[in-house]
Amino acid sequence: MMTIHTKALGDLDIDERQLLTFQNGLIGFDKFQRFALLDAPQKPYFYLQSTELTELNFILLDPFLFRPDYEVDVPDELSQALGMKQADDALILAIVTVPPEGGTITANLMGPLVICRNSRQGIQVVLSDPRWQIKHDVMAELATSRK
C-alpha cells in the first residue's frame, strides 16, 4: 500500500498494482509518466491520476460500454513493447472530457489508451480509422447502442 495525492479524492491509499507507467506520457503531457488507475466514486468512470502532479487527472471510460463496435488495432511491435502475452492482457480505455460548466460529455476514440494489465505499461495511440473521432457524444452513442 502507498498513499498518493489525488485531485478528485484527496489523499488516498492505493495498491501498487494500480500504478501504471506511460513511458511516452500522454500526448501533450510527455513529462508525466507515472499514474494511478482509480475507480471514480461514480460508476462506471475511472480516474487516471498522475502521481507526479496532483492537478493532472483524467477521466476515463470503457469505450465498449457505448460503442460495442469499437476496434483498436494493436500492432505486434506495440503489444511486444508493452509486454503483452495474450489478447486479454490489453485494457483499452477512452479519455473523457466533461465540460466544467456542464454540457455534453465526450470521449476521445481517436486517441485511446492501450494498457497491458501484466506489465502495467500504457500508451496513448492514434488511430487512423475515420470512424473514430476525437469527440464522441457518450450519451448519444449510448442511446444508439441500446436501440
Among 13, 16, 42, 147, which residue interacts with another protein (rule: CB under 8 A)?
Answer: 42
CA atoms within 13 A on the CB side of 2: 9
110 belongs to the binding site for another protein (CB under 8 A): yes
CA atoms within 13 A on the CB side of 121: 11
135 belongs to the binding site for another protein (CB under 8 A): yes
- From residue 83 to residue 102, the character string flagging contacts with another protein as x (rule: CB under 8 A) and all else as - is ------------xxxxxxxx
Q: Is 86 helix (H, G, I), strand (E, B) or coil?
A: coil
Closest CA to 22 of 54, 60, 59, 51: 51
* Cα 15 from Cα 44, distance rounded (Å): 20
Closest CA to 91 of 121, 131, 66: 121
Name the grid cell of 1.
500500500
- Part of the chain binding another protein (CB under 8 A), chosen from 13-21, 27-35, 82-90, 114-122: 27-35
- Part of the chain binding another protein (CB under 8 A), chosen from 14-22, 36-44, 83-91, 114-122: 36-44
Chain contacts with another protein (rule: CB under 8 A): 7-8, 26-29, 40, 42-45, 56-59, 62, 65-66, 75, 77-78, 95-102, 105, 108, 110-111, 124, 126, 128, 134-135, 138-139, 142
